[in-house]
């Protein structure tokens, strides 16, 4: 069965904001753009070393969060959140794939792929993505997870995607930093004549497809329509980039000032750094304002032996069985992820913009979809927010919410801080208190 | 809609004639104590077994997980009769199910198919799909399953860039120009007529179907656009053909009830690419559906070197060895020799593929995959396995060779191959659990149940750490929640403990002698890989059925539906009848009505 546009909207998990909100926003645009990034860490955390001590402004960073010490007054550490819809189903896929949709994905080996929602970043992209040459970036390190997991009955497609443009459209990720660079370069600096030719060509492709539509069954037409929709939106985007009035966008820094990244980095930490550099580059130049990044796919088993004191792989260590040594290594792996997060934050903080910097014009979220990985615990998810969203975030505090507060409430607040508010999101009950300035 | 109707009919037919009735006495005698009442164990009440539970139930009884140890065990003949009843009932239901319960979505070419198709269409050897996003897998576990070949918005952008790069290269390359059919304009042939001529040759190959002249118009218009911009003839042709490569008629496998669609299906199954000229010809003459022609064409394609693409994609995704050297990298600190030796890495990765290919070419039985007296090795791999050098001729030692195995080589079948043994381990140590799961899932097609959600952590051992993996797992199995499955998973892996995490033979690990004994819950005991393979040989029909199902999923490019298992059973029976000859599998799949009339 295919989903009609109507059910698609109904099941979208978000009721779109009333038009007046958008009008209001258009009437008083913020001087500088706000950016939104989400960094996803697979496999949960060693819960003994995650939570900060105390709440409010006087909190003390935990050992795992310690790499963020110099950024403490720009952080928010919300605790007690979860996605109730994903509380069971299986250990990983149902939780990890839905972290930005706050829904419950359909259990399937492929035939009924459905997230039952649009991810938070894509709601932002659908409302504000047209303001930049690229609506949003989806990035990763690991290639698409292969095979199906017969053990639990899910296609591993779910392991590789957190960004959902529609309940049935998981977004493909770029995993090669060089391709990202080239894409940014091309998008931020289009050659007008080539773009015109592209637009014309895409137009003819749409014309050619008309001869096809009439003799197709409904299921077949659906896929073709999906494809033609992407062709059409590319055509519109290309068209816009060639017209002087079409896009008010101006790049805020030249891409070419940054050298292209290495073609095919071999080591995992290098790949991660280069990808984070691409987020920084995209945000600094304002080529996009929205990005999601996956350190690894769900159930990632990246070998962390490159890290001092670690002798094993990620998923292996997350199933620590309360073994002290495994817990120690698990924590080191978590802390390494946080340190990479800190690297991006510092990089954005160093990027000056008017009388502020890109970090303070951003919301950069770091999270995992599990707390304790050993028991696949879905409660009290480990989450950090950084950046001030241009002053819209009440940064510099740890917040303890009532146990099992909907994670969707956080996404509601984040969308609001980003400037694309919605009335409700998935199972949200209202914005989180104390987060917005 | 179609799909739901199909399931409905399926469910109704199950109720109408419950062919599972003959299982009642067995269920009541052996399962009733735990599986009745309002809170039955594992939520399974034997008085209301849902249709989709039967295959799993049978698998658990077949794997001797149920009834659990400590409860009255059924005698072997009763168990076999019980399983036979279920198998027959399932088969009858599968064959009674509607043929097409699921209208599977139109399939687009996946990244590998796109690359190979551009290669054959243009006769170039660039990796055209390099920048396309990788595809996920679905159904039977392959990345050509229509339902997971979703359309990501970035695709259009990527296709456009790939088409431009491929065609700009092709129009400058004499070999490609010839293959495309580029004719030069001349005094007698105005540019637009030349463009039309090119399209007439190119479009049917690109769309894998005859194309009426009227459908050339949008592309001719592109040619004119480019000419108006005063582009050269070649640049205009490139621009025009770029449009062709963006067309859904090129990017999707359009199903039509004719021989052209059958040609495409056959070609993408056995070559992973577009049909060649001979296949097009057979389709044009409307001969391909004729069983003799279809058989001949199947044999011809299978003998083509390009069939290696199919075999490699199938085998590496089936066994999970595709990950080796990509996401799965044996730890360089534990295996420094491997890390340094690129040739060895390649030879290990390729071994299952060339084994499968050689088995098919020689029409050897599929059971050779379980255990064989031969294998495929290069000189480097022979040395790695510790074979005598004489087995592989020196002059062509870099090529894989079929060798008779020396006695006690421990290298027969898939389970003797490093690639398989590595990807069913951690990068730095073996895992009997992962290997046992591999045997149950990939080989037998009876994956264990998932661990219960929120399974509590193992309590730390009061008297200090258990010393060995075996002790640790024994402690794990002492927990009844875990024992249910792990008592049939772990022993299979223990039998393979003589292979380290890279599949090298060992008799001790960190100074401790290897204990390679295993015992299944039904009391079957074995030690070492040879005895394990003998146990698997007794289950060869299960193995062959699983392999058949997986390859049917690959051949159809979609997940299987209940009715497809009727086809699977038929082919598995043909295989049993003729000694599991491997070519029978391919032929049986192609000749099946579901493949011919998808």
Query: Of B201, B199, B180, which Cα lies nearest the Cα of B191?
Result: B199
State the Cα–Cα distance between residues B145 and A111, nearest whole angstrom: 9
**For residue B596, pLDDT beyond 80:** yes
Q: Which of B133, B139, B154 sits opposite A110 (nearest CB)?
A: B139
Question: At B252, which helix (H) or strand (E)?
Answer: strand B252-253
State the Cα–Cα distance between residues B428 and A311, nearest whole angstrom: 9
Sign of the torsion formed by the C-alpha atoms of B270, B274, B278 and B281: positive
**Mapping DSSP to helix (H, G, I), strand (E, B) and coil, where does residue A292 land?**
strand
- Min Cα–Cα distance to chain B from A198, Å: 8
State the Cα–Cα distance between residues B46 and B34, nearest whole angstrom: 9
Query: For A51-60, B53-62, B172-181, B514-523, which range has the lowest pLDDT when averaged over its residues?
Result: B53-62
Contact B320 A147 (CB under 8 A): yes
Residues of B in contact with A175 (CB under 8 A): 134
Contact A375 B456 (CB under 8 A): yes
Q: What is the mean pLDDT of residues A363-371?
A: 97
Contact B450 A176 (CB under 8 A): no
Residues of B in contact with A197 (CB under 8 A): 225-226, 229, 239
Can you give the pLDDT at residue B341?
97
Q: What is the mean pLDDT of residues B211-230?
A: 96
pLDDT band of residue B389 (cuts 50, 70, 90) is low
Q: Specify the pTM.
A: 0.90
**For residue B461, pLDDT beyond 60:** no
Contact B152 A322 (CB under 8 A): no
CA angle B163/B164/B169 to nearest 5° reads 100
Contact A168 B150 (CB under 8 A): yes
State the Cα–Cα distance between residues B79 and B83, nearest whole angstrom: 6
Contact B243 A155 (CB under 8 A): no
Contact A212 B154 (CB under 8 A): no
Can you give the pLDDT at residue A213?
67
- Within chain B, what is the greatest distance between any pair of CA atoms? 95
Residue of A nearest to B317 (CA): A147
**For residue B203, pLDDT beyond 50:** yes
Beta strand segments in B498-572, E: 508-509, 512-513, 517-519, 525-527
- Min Cα–Cα distance to chain A from B387, Å: 31
State the Cα–Cα distance between residues B288 and B260, nearest whole angstrom: 9
B145: which 2 tokens? 């399953």
Q: What is the mean pLDDT of residues B158-167?
A: 96
Contact B137 A147 (CB under 8 A): yes
Residues of A in contact with B102 (CB under 8 A): 111
State the Cα–Cα distance between residues B430 and B432, nearest whole angstrom: 6
Inform me whether the C-beta atom of residue A44 falls under 8 Å from chain B C-beta atoms. Answer: no
Inform me whether the C-beta atom of residue A311 falls under 8 Å from chain B C-beta atoms. Answer: yes
Select the more confidently predicted residue: B87 or B239: B239
**For residue B523, pLDDT beyond 70:** yes
Contact B106 A220 (CB under 8 A): yes
**For residue A18, pLDDT beyond 60:** no
Beta strand segments in A300-408, E: 352-353, 356-357, 362-367, 383-386, 397-406
State the Cα–Cα distance between residues A381 and A406, nearest whole angstrom: 11
Residue of B nearest to A220 (CA): B106
Question: For A214-267, where are the alpha helices, taking DSSP H only?
Answer: 218-242
Mean pLDDT across chain A: 89
Can you give the pLDDT at residue B483?
78
In Å, how far from its chain's centre is CA A44?
17
Contact A88 B454 (CB under 8 A): yes
State the Cα–Cα distance between residues B455 and A377, nearest whole angstrom: 9
**Core vs surface per residue B459-485: b (16+ CB within 10 A) or e:** eeeeeeeeeebbebbeebbeeeebbbb
B467: which 2 tokens? 């010393």
Mean pLDDT across chain B: 90
Residues of B in contact with A146 (CB under 8 A): 136-137, 143, 317, 320, 322-323
Can you give the pLDDT at residue A338?
98
Contact A172 B155 (CB under 8 A): yes
Tell me what percent of the residues of chain B surpass a pLDDT of 70. Answer: 93
Question: For B97-232, where are the alpha helices, taking DSSP H only?
Answer: 111-122, 154-170, 174-180, 191-207, 217-228
Q: What is the mean pLDDT of residues A35-56?
A: 97
Inform me whether the C-beta atom of residue A264 falls under 8 Å from chain B C-beta atoms. Answer: no
State the Cα–Cα distance between residues B421 and B499, nearest whole angstrom: 7
In sequence order, the 6+-apart residues with CB closer than 8 A to the CB of A421 are A17, A21, A415
Inform me whether the C-beta atom of residue A217 falls under 8 Å from chain B C-beta atoms. Answer: yes
- Min Cα–Cα distance to chain A from B139, Å: 5
Contact A234 B156 (CB under 8 A): yes
- Min Cα–Cα distance to chain B from A349, Å: 30
Q: Which of B136, B156, B559 sits opposite A160 (nearest CB)?
A: B136
pLDDT band of residue B455 (cuts 50, 70, 90) is low
The residues that bridge with B142 in the sheet, in sequence order, are: B138
Can you give the pLDDT at residue B562?
85
CA angle A183/A186/A188 to nearest 5° reads 100
Residues of A in contact with B323 (CB under 8 A): 146
Dump pLDDT digits (tens) for A187-230: 887 778 888 999 999 999 999 998 886 667 777 788 899 999 99
User: ipTM more than 0.90?
Assistant: no
- The CB-side HSE value for A72 (13 A sphere, CA atoms) comes to 15
Which one of B212, B218, B257 would you mutate to disrupt binding with A, by most A Cβ within 10 Å of its Cβ? B218
Query: Of A170, A186, A364, A179, which Cα lies nearest the Cα of A283?
Result: A364
pLDDT band of residue A11 (cuts 50, 70, 90) is very low
Residues of B in contact with A110 (CB under 8 A): 136-139, 145, 147-148, 559
- Min Cα–Cα distance to chain A from B11, Å: 18
């Amino acid at each position: 069965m295919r989903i009609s546009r109507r059910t698609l909207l109904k099941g979208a998990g978000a009721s779109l904001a009333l038009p007046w909100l958008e009008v209001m926003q258009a009437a008083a645009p913020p001087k500088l753009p706000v950016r939104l990034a989400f960094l996803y860490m697979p496999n949960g955390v060693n819960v003994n070393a995650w939570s900060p001590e105390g709440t409010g402004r006087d909190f003390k960073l935990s050992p795992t969060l310690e790499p963020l010490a110099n950024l403490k007054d720009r952080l928010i550490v919300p605790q007690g959140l979860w996605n109730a819809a994903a509380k069971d189903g299986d250990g990983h896929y149902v939780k990890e794939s839905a972290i930005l949709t706050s829904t419950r994905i359909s259990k399937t080996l492929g035939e009924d792929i459905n997230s039952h929602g649009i991810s938070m970043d894509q709601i932002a992209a659908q409302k504000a993505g047209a303001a930049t040459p690229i609506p949003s970036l989806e990035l990763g390190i690991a290639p698409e997870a292969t095979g199906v997991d017969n053990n639990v009955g899910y296609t591993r497609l779910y392991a590789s995607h957190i960004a959902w443009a529609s309940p049935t459209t998981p977004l493909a990720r770029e995993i090669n930093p060089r391709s990202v660079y080239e894409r940014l370069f091309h998008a931020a600096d289009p050659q007008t004549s080539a773009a015109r030719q592209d637009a014309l060509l895409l137009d003819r492709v749409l014309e050619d497809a008309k001869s096809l539509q009439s003799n197709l069954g409904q299921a077949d037409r659906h896929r073709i329509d999906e494809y033609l929709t992407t062709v059409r939106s590319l055509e519109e985007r290309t068209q816009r980039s060639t017209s002087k009035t079409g896009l008010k966008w101006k790049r805020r820094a030249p891409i070419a000032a940054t050298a292209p990244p290495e073609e095919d980095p071999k080591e995992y930490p290098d790949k991660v750094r280069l990808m984070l550099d691409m987020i920084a580059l995209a945000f600094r130049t304002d080529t996009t304002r929205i990005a999601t990044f996956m350190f690894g796919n769900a159930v990632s088993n990246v070998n962390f032996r490159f890290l001092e004191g670690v002798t094993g792989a990620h998923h292996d260590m997350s199933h620590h069985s309360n073994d002290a040594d495994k817990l120690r290594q698990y924590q080191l792996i978590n802390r390494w992820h946080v340190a990479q997060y800190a690297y991006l934050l510092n990089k954005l903080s160093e990027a000056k913009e008017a009388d502020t910097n890109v970090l303070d014009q951003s919301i950069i979220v770091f999270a995992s979809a599990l707390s304790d990985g050993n028991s696949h615990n879905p409660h009290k998810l480990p989450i950090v927010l950084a950046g001030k969203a241009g002053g819209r975030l009440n940064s510099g505090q740890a917040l303890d919410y009532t146990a099992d507060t909907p994670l969707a409430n956080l996404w509601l607040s984040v969308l609001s801080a980003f400037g694309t508010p919605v009335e409700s999101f998935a199972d949200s009950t209202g914005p989180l208190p104390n987060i917005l300035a | 809609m179609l799909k739901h109707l199909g399931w409905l009919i399926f469910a109704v037919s199950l109720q109408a004639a419950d062919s599972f009735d003959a299982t009642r006495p067995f269920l009541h005698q052996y399962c009733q104590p735990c599986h009745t009442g309002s809170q039955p164990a594992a939520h399974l009440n034997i008085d209301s077994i849902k249709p989709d539970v039967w295959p799993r139930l049978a698998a658990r009884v077949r794997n001797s997980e149920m009834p659990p140890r400590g409860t009255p065990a059924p005698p072997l003949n009763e168990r076999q009769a019980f399983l036979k009843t279920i198998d027959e009932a399932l088969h009858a239901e599968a064959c009674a199910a509607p043929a097409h319960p699921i209208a599977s979505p139109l399939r687009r070419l996946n990244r590998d198919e796109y690359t190979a198709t551009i290669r054959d269409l243009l006769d170039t050897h660039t990796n055209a799909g390099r920048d396309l996003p990788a595809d996920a897998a679905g159904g039977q576990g392959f990345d050509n399953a229509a339902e997971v070949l979703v359309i990501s918005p970035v695709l259009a952008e990527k296709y456009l860039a790939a088409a431009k790069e491929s065609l700009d290269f092709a129009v400058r390359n004499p070999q490609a120009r010839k293959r495309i059919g580029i004719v030069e304009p001349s005094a007698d042939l105005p540019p637009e007529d030349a463009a039309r001529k090119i399209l007439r040759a190119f479009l049917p190959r690109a769309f894998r179907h005859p194309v009426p002249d009227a459908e050339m118009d949008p592309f001719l218009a592109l040619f004119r656009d480019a000419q108006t911009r005063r582009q050269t003839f070649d640049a205009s042709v490139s621009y025009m053909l770029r449009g062709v490569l963006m067309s859904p008629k090129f990017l999707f496998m359009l199903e039509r009830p004719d021989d052209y669609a059958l040609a495409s299906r056959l070609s993408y199954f056995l070559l992973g690419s577009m049909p060649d000229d001979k296949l097009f010809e057979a389709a044009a003459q409307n001969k391909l559906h004729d069983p003799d022609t279809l058989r001949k064409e199947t044999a011809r394609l299978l003998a083509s070197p390009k069939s290696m693409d199919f075999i490699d994609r199938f085998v590496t995704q089936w066994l999970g060895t595709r990950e080796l050297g990509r996401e799965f990298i044996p730890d360089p600190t534990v295996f420094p020799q491997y890390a340094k030796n690129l040739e060895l890495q390649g030879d290990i990765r390729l071994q299952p593929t060339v084994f499968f290919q050689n088995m098919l070419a020689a029409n050897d039985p599929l059971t050779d995959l379980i255990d064989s007296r031969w294998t495929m090795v290069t000189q480097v791999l022979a040395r790695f396995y510790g074979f005598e050098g004489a087995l592989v001729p020196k002059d062509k030692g870099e090529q894989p060779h079929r060798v008779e195995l020396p006695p006690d080589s421990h290298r027969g079948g898939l389970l003797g191959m490093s690639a398989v043994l590595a990807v069913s381990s951690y990068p730095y140590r073996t895992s009997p659990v992962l290997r046992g799961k591999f045997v149950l899932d990939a080989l037998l097609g009876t994956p264990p149940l998932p661990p219960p959600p929120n399974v509590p952590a193992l309590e730390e051992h009061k008297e200090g750490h258990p010393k060995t993996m075996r002790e640790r797992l024994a402690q794990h199995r002492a927990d009844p929640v875990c024992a249910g499955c792990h008592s049939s998973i772990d022993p299979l892996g223990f039998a393979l403990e003589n292979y380290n995490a890279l599949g090298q033979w060992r008799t001790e690990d960190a100074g401790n002698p290897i204990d390679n004994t295993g015992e299944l819950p039904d009391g079957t005991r074995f030690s070492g890989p040879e005895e394990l393979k003998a146990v698997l040989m007794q289950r060869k029909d299960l193995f062959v059925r699983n392999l058949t199902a997986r390859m049917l999923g690959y051949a159809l490019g979609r997940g299987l539906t209940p009715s497809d298992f009727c086809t699977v059973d038929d082919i598995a029976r043909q295989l049993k009848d003729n000694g599991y000859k491997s070519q029978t599998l391919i032929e049986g799949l192609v000749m099946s009505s579901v493949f011919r009339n998808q």
